[in-house]
Amino acid sequence: MNSMAFSLPKISPFSPIFRLKTLIIVSIISCALVFVSGTDRGSVGNGGDELYREILRDETVERIKELGKISDADGFLERTFLSPASIRAIELIQSWMMDAGLKTWVDQMGNVHGRFEAANSTAETLLIGSHLDTVIDAGMYDGSMGVVCAISALKVFKLNGMLGELQRPVEVIAFSDEEGVRFQTTFLGSAAVAGILSGSALQISDKSGFKMQEVLRENSLDATEESLLQVKYEPKSVWGYVEVHIEQGPVLESIGCPLGIVQGIAGQTRLKVTVKGSQGHAGTVPMFMRQDPMVASAELIVLLESLCKHPESFLAYDDQCGGFTRESLAGLVCTVGEISCWPSASNVNFTVDIRAMDDTVREAIIFEFSKRLDKICDNRMVNCSTENKHTAKAANCDSELSLQLKHAAHSALKKMMVDLQGDVPLLMSGAGHDAIAMSHLTKVGMIFVRCRGGVSHSPEEYVLDDDIWATGLALLQFLETST
Ligand SMILES: NC(=O)N[C@H](N)C(=O)O
Ligand SMILES: [Mn+2]
Ligand SMILES: [Mn+2]
């Protein structure tokens, strides 16, 4: 048995680590943790430790792996909104929910629900969820882990005969779309449950030209504005929303702590930029007569990088007098993720993703980008347009709910380890989560789980089996003490 103390390094707001996807905030002191192997751990409720390990670790890990094999692609993981693989995943998740003693159904947006109706069925419901879709060439933990861990925690309650002790209904939801791969707009499932998905979304087309409405109807889902309204939950029927997710950043690993509590989630905007020039012969059109959208796009992409790398050079920046401050620029990141040109090089499209903890900073960057885009495109004699594909404002997690999750995580970590000193870390999320959409419906709280190297959206994504166990114990503890 080892004993080690971990302390948080000082991070300047402009240091590289501060720009990483997930950022650590202020007052984390230290987290001195040592793993204890074997089964000699404290117990939760009345169950035996072996039961918890079997369900919360071994079975949960097996299920995450099984879900990770359900893919639309050969050789890599890809599961997008209502794709054939998603339908198979829905069926599998439903079977696990039933196994945990939950009543299940699939709603009109393809979200899978598993509900335990407490004796006090009129009490507000605790929702616990994450998403079942993935990016292309994904890892198997992003989204799936949150869903499977929640089902496992309730399964332990069932096996312990403790489901009946829950003071309020508890519902696990596996949301149909968070990544936004298919329709380029994210949170389709959770936005519908939160009642913020506009009916016009049904008319959005995927890359193959299929409208969302057609895709839903193909799967026997009504896909009307009325059916969307049926998916929406009444705020007064809901107590809160909790989500467990991999951190997707390196902070927890760097301080050696398996779990952290999320304080807030960055806002994000996705744009599609179209640059139209004209075709010509590479050997005959003189340089001064060219209307080359490729070079214009390159200039725009570099501009975007400069805007987010050195925002102080572009925005009114004033630490003293109310302009943007170092703090407000925290978490500002811009990415061009996809670029295509057709035919040959006369039209170029590229995607832009802009995120910041402060919504006014994100808006100011978009404003600057649009202004400078017009100038660059005029100079280069090309036509440019931008289309807003998605906007989500930053969300704060509820402080009281976060405190409850923190206590639950602390208790789980103590059961898993010895020598826990200091607090469970508090983090900010640069990545988007269903919790953003759900914050429009109810108070939200999130637990982050460390992942190897902070890597996500890659087959290299990996979470230690014992960290999955710790997550399950934290959820169990939370359910026991807060519902
Ligand atoms: N957690 C995530 O990976 N979420 C999003 N799809 C995102 O941040 O883009
Ligand atoms: Mn993701
Ligand atoms: Mn995710």
320 — pLDDT class (breaks 50, 70, 90): low
Q: 253 with 289, same domain? A: no
In the structure encoding, which two tokens stand for residue 38, read together?
């074997």
- Stronger pLDDT, 128 or 317, i.e. the higher one: 128
Position 18 pLDDT exceeds 50:
no
Secondary structure letter of residue 205 according to DSSP: B
Q: 350 with 224, same domain? A: no
Q: How many domains does the chain have?
A: 2
What pLDDT sits at residue 120? 82
369 falls within a domain: yes
CA 132 / ligand 3 centre spacing (Å):
9
Average pLDDT over residues 394-401: 97
Average pLDDT over residues 342-360: 91
1 falls within a domain: no
Residue nearest (by alpha carbon) to ligand 1 atom 6: 179
Of the listed ranges 147-161, 184-198, 418-432, the one predicted with least confidence: 418-432
Domain that holds residue 319: 267-392
Distance CA 436, CA 441 (A): 10
Q: At 222, which CATH number?
A: 3.40.630.10
Q: 350 with 421, same domain? A: no
Position 194 pLDDT exceeds 90:
yes
402 — pLDDT class (breaks 50, 70, 90): very high
Average pLDDT over residues 467-477: 96
Q: At 293, which CATH number?
A: 3.30.70.360
CB 146 near ligand 1, within 6 Å: no
Average pLDDT over residues 215-232: 95
CB 179 near ligand 1, within 6 Å: yes
Given a contact cutoff of 8 angstroms between Cβ atoms, the answer to whether 474 and 408 are in contact is yes
Ligand 1 pocket test, pick from 185, 186, 246 with the greatest ligand atom count within 8 Å of Cβ, gives 186
416 — pLDDT class (breaks 50, 70, 90): confident
The chain-wide mean pLDDT, for the chain, equals 88
Specify the amino acid at residue 370: S
What pLDDT sits at residue 118? 86
CB 431 near ligand 1, within 6 Å: yes
Q: 224 with 275, same domain? A: no
What pLDDT sits at residue 418? 37
241 falls within a domain: yes
Q: 185 with 283, same domain? A: no
Give DSSP secondary structure letters for 324-349.
B-TTTTTT-EEE---EEEETTTTEEE
49 — pLDDT class (breaks 50, 70, 90): low
- In percent, the amount of the chain with pLDDT more than 90 equals 77
252 falls within a domain: yes
Closest CA to 44 of 450, 445, 408, 452: 408
From the CA of 457, give the closest atom in ligand 1.
Answer: 3
Helix (H, G, I), strand (E, B) or coil at 420: coil
For residue 76, is it left (φ>0), alpha (ψ between -120 and 50) or beta?
A: beta
327 — pLDDT class (breaks 50, 70, 90): confident
Position 38 pLDDT exceeds 80:
no
Q: 297 with 244, same domain? A: no
Q: Which of 392, 408, 423 is the last residue of a domain?
A: 392
Q: 137 with 48, same domain? A: yes
What pLDDT sits at residue 452? 98
Q: Which of 392, 426, 459 is the last residue of a domain?
A: 392
CB 143 near ligand 1, within 6 Å: no
Position 281 pLDDT exceeds 80:
yes
Given a contact cutoff of 8 angstroms between Cβ atoms, the answer to whether 357 and 330 are in contact is yes
Position 33 pLDDT exceeds 50:
no
User: What is the β-pairing status of strands 238-246 and 125-131?
Assistant: parallel
12 falls within a domain: no
What is the number of the ligand closest to the CA of 429?
1
What pLDDT sits at residue 316? 78
CB 21 near ligand 1, within 6 Å: no
Distance CA 257, CA 447 (A): 12
Q: What is the pLDDT of residues 434-465, one digit of tens each?
A: 999 999 999 999 999 999 999 999 999 999 99
What pLDDT sits at residue 184? 86
Q: Which of 341, 365, 392 is the last residue of a domain?
A: 392
Residue nearest (by alpha carbon) to ligand 1 atom 4: 432
Q: Which residues of 93-108 are buried (b: 16+ CB within 10 A; e: fewer)?
A: bbebbeebebebebbb
Q: 73 with 214, same domain? A: yes
Average pLDDT over residues 46-56: 72
17 falls within a domain: no
5 falls within a domain: no
What is the number of the ligand closest to the CA of 181?
1
CB 433 near ligand 1, within 6 Å: yes
What pLDDT sits at residue 51? 54
4 falls within a domain: no
CA 247 / ligand 2 centre spacing (Å):
10
- Alpha carbon 42 to its chain centroid, in Å, reads 31
- Stronger pLDDT, 337 or 234, i.e. the higher one: 234
